Structure 1
């Protein structure tokens, strides 16, 4: 059903409990922007576009809602609420958890179908064409924070019934934006260029909706993205934790990860726009570092004594040679990569840093930012082990091997940018300090310790 006052009321109570809702501890103030109907769905479904005006700036969310005449078994937190419709009950569910919606969504994408509704137009963009895939099952991937991914078991229509089906994953973007989503654009560009370090792209769903703030009154952006689901691969963070806890060396894997990262950067620089940085680019980057530093010192008073030397690091960075600007991952860490049994690394989730506006995430950036992010991730592994001497040594070895692997594959010796890399890592650690202070105070010593280490290196003049 279209977005009604009753549905808005139910969603207002239900959304704060969802992991993808960014306004934790806050009641949303919702305004309906539009909705669209998924064709071919076995049950009524409307995908609602809702502007949460309690956020600053307001956030636009996508919420598919299926309608069932009877309760859906094992729905759990996917149950939104119950409405009375002409004397009969209608049960409302979050679409990705309803197999009927999940099937119709992937069919729309694979078949390049079009859909519409109130103030919205939607189209599927298939990169493979209609391959006659049969959807055997679907399940929401657990653990995701900002979006909702549906994993499908699929098989070709002419395949034997007993053949093990392949897997496809379709990510439904919860917070949607005007403009191209870098997760779709970058992974598709890498896959098309023949990179083996991303999954194969299958297609996307693009929507248009009313937006009075835009010159033509309309906005357009990605609503969903599908790609192959890679089985028999291990999450990089889980692997690193397991090896660190067992005291096993990670250097070989880190070296290979460094090489894969360099290959990803090189491919993006080749197939996407890149350019030399201007003085303005460098000045704006350093200004953003200083804004982050001010916020960190205000929220984590223990950092106040480090402020002067950090400012000196930033002053020094302004005089250094900076690499070219290019498209990057933007939120790179061990939780964003998978490794296969053959040692091949694959990167996922190219959306960029969640707190940055989408238009900023779609601009060329410095690859040094990705390198710094992965270095910070090794420190987090050590921190999770209690920062013992053994864990610290494990992280130092992994950091060195990662940089060696990157330099071995790249035409750019990242160690030649050591001071600049330290500045980027400082900025990332300050970002982490603010996040941990707000969300996980017990983890705050990890980024604070990194700041202290980097400051000590700067003070001693080590390069």
Structure 2
């Protein structure tokens, strides 16, 4: 069996059904037919346990999804000869070894012991979590898993210490990855700072921007990001039969007991508490991270061709959105006016940015201030776009939209709140954030107004499509933003 020319091995039906229920599975509402194109394994000293990670494609995807952008998933599993106590919710399947239930496809536990076998979602299994972090901290290479054409190697950041794992748990609520929180002790047996390790579920050839960007910032001396601990990268044969590499997992400093800026802002908005000081400091922190990114990673001068292509992309996204959100059509002339102004404006140099910036991507750390996280970029975009230098104002626009969403959430949830007061709260946050960014960056954002308007409009148009597909009751939020931006653009002659 092949997937675009690559040798593939069928996975058992129970795995197809399990994957269909996972939040990180992209094709919601369908049951995949998974084909493993490679495996890598982890050593463990735990008796009766085998750890293997399959790299899988969904061969049932529609023909238009069968090209290079088809999603490659990472599926870490543990196979046990006896059940894991307290892990019932992580149990994927059980059956008699050798009967074809556990041992079908690529999941033969390979043990001579007869009896019942148990397959678990590995991030919930301490045998896997300890082996995963150990591979990273020791900088070792995984042993070969049969002939499955994949391997993995750990890399430890300078200064990171090999602590002992005393406990681990999976962070709940994530959509696109699986994060494991580790409790550790140092060489003396004393509690050490905890670590969080993100296991990437969707894999891409090339450097994952979350790893590359955050590591570059930390190595450059930034204290506005969690400190990286290490990462695991791997090699596999892609659907074009080429050997490629990419990141599989990333460990970093865990900041326990903190709230993200989204929750902090919601609490303030609900209480009607002024949030402008926090918004101003967040603007300054954002500008500092942008400055550091321009310092530690390559930048690119803007040419007329680049600016024209960027605006053309915005126009195309708007036209595509109109087909799903017909209410956008009435703003066509004003939308063109905003994009025309942006294309003729003065553009700053392109640089690496966050790429998916909003209040949920910032942590409010007591005694430390803001910390920016999750530099993976917009998950729906191809990796080639997410690693490309961009205009820093795209991040600014994303945060402005996030303040509007925080206010709108309160307005929707609390009918007794004064809409005018909530709108004023959002306006104050917006102004303060821009003031903080301008003061820290030295940029005159008023002079960048035409460009910022275009990026904010582009973001709001994207939101209309997202809400139409996922939360139709929320559609009025981005539609109001489109309407306001178009009204501010002035009458169309």
How would you bin the TM-score normalised by the shorter chain? over 0.9
Gaps of at least 5 residues in structure 2 are 1-7, 100-114, 413-418
Choose which of 145, 168, 192 in structure 2 pairs with 1:138.
168
Which deviates more from structure 2 when the two are superposed, residues 411-420 or residues 194-203?
411-420
User: What are the superposed Cα offsets for residues 209-262 of structure 1, whole Å, 9 maximum, x if unpaired?
Assistant: 012526xx2010000000100124221111111110010011000000000000
Q: Does 1:122 align with 2:134?
A: no
> Contact 2:160–2:229 (CA<8 Å) still a contact in 1?
no
> In structure 2, what is the Cα distance between the partners aligned to 1:41 and 1:443?
51
User: What are the superposed Cα offsets for residues 123-172 of structure 1, whole Å, 9 maximum, x if unpaired?
Assistant: 00111367230111000011111000000011212244xxx432000000
Q: Alpha-carbon deviation of 1:82?
A: 2.0
TM-score, with structure 2 as normaliser:
0.89
> In structure 2, what is the Cα distance between the partners aligned to 1:23 and 1:77?
23
> Contact 1:35–1:46 (CA<8 Å) still a contact in 2?
yes
> Contact 2:40–2:54 (CA<8 Å) still a contact in 1?
yes
TM-score, with structure 1 as normaliser:
0.94
Q: Does 1:454 align with 2:466?
A: no
| Structure-1 residue corresponding to 2:19 | 15
**Pairs within 5 Å for 1:106-121:** 106-115=133-142, 116-117=144-145, 118-121=148-151
Q: Alpha-carbon deviation of 1:103?
A: 0.6
Q: Alpha-carbon deviation of 1:73?
A: 3.4
**Pairs within 5 Å for 1:50-65:** 50-53=56-59, 54=61, 56=65, 57-65=69-77
Q: Does 1:416 align with 2:447?
A: yes
> In structure 2, what is the Cα distance between the partners aligned to 1:328 and 1:272?
10
| Structure-1 residue corresponding to 2:105 | none
> In structure 2, what is the Cα distance between the partners aligned to 1:321 and 1:203?
40
Which deviates more from structure 2 when the two are superposed, residues 362-371 or residues 79-88?
79-88
| Structure-2 residue corresponding to 1:198 | 225
**Pairs within 5 Å for 1:87-236:** 88-115=115-142, 116-117=144-145, 118-128=148-158, 131-160=161-190, 164-213=191-240, 217-236=242-261
* Alpha-carbon distance change, 355 to 411 in structure 1, aligned in 2, over 3 angstroms: same
> In structure 2, what is the Cα distance between the partners aligned to 1:396 and 1:342?
27
> In structure 2, what is the Cα distance between the partners aligned to 1:104 and 1:414?
49
> In structure 2, what is the Cα distance between the partners aligned to 1:307 and 1:74?
57
**Pairs within 5 Å for 1:242-261:** 242-261=267-286
> In structure 1, what is the Cα distance between the partners aligned to 2:292 and 2:286?
10
Q: How many residues align?
A: 453
> Contact 1:212–1:218 (CA<8 Å) still a contact in 2?
no
> In structure 1, what is the Cα distance between the partners aligned to 2:353 and 2:453?
18
> In structure 2, what is the Cα distance between the partners aligned to 1:413 and 1:70?
65
| Structure-1 residue corresponding to 2:108 | none
User: What are the superposed Cα offsets for residues 282-325 of structure 1, whole Å, 9 maximum, x if unpaired?
Assistant: 11111111121012111111111112210121112111111110
Greater than 6 Å deviation, 4+ residue runs: none
> Contact 1:96–1:148 (CA<8 Å) still a contact in 2?
yes
**Pairs within 5 Å for 1:373-452:** 373-386=398-411, 388-452=419-483
Superposed CA RMSD in Å reads: 1.6
* Alpha-carbon distance change, 180 to 129 in structure 1, aligned in 2, over 3 angstroms: same
* Alpha-carbon distance change, 256 to 206 in structure 1, aligned in 2, over 3 angstroms: same
| Structure-1 residue corresponding to 2:32 | 28
| Structure-1 residue corresponding to 2:366 | 341
> In structure 1, what is the Cα distance between the partners aligned to 2:254 and 2:445?
32
> In structure 2, what is the Cα distance between the partners aligned to 1:148 and 1:41?
24
Q: Does 1:67 align with 2:79?
A: yes
**Pairs within 5 Å for 1:235-314:** 235-314=260-339
> In structure 1, what is the Cα distance between the partners aligned to 2:12 and 2:305?
45
> Contact 1:151–1:169 (CA<8 Å) still a contact in 2?
yes
Choose which of 350, 353, 356 in structure 2 pairs with 1:328.
353
Choose which of 33, 49, 52 in structure 1 pairs with 2:55.
49
* Alpha-carbon distance change, 344 to 350 in structure 1, aligned in 2, over 3 angstroms: same
Which deviates more from structure 2 when the two are superposed, residues 414-423 or residues 448-457?
414-423
Which deviates more from structure 2 when the two are superposed, residues 61-70 or residues 255-264?
61-70
> Contact 2:157–2:228 (CA<8 Å) still a contact in 1?
yes
SS across alignment from 1:459? coil
> In structure 2, what is the Cα distance between the partners aligned to 1:412 and 1:24?
43
SS across alignment from 1:44? strand
User: What are the superposed Cα offsets for residues 153-211 of structure 1, whole Å, 9 maximum, x if unpaired?
Assistant: 11212244xxx432000000000000000000000011111111101111100000012
> In structure 2, what is the Cα distance between the partners aligned to 1:460 and 1:73?
67
> Contact 1:258–1:406 (CA<8 Å) still a contact in 2?
yes
Q: Alpha-carbon deviation of 1:41?
A: 5.3
SS across alignment from 2:333? helix
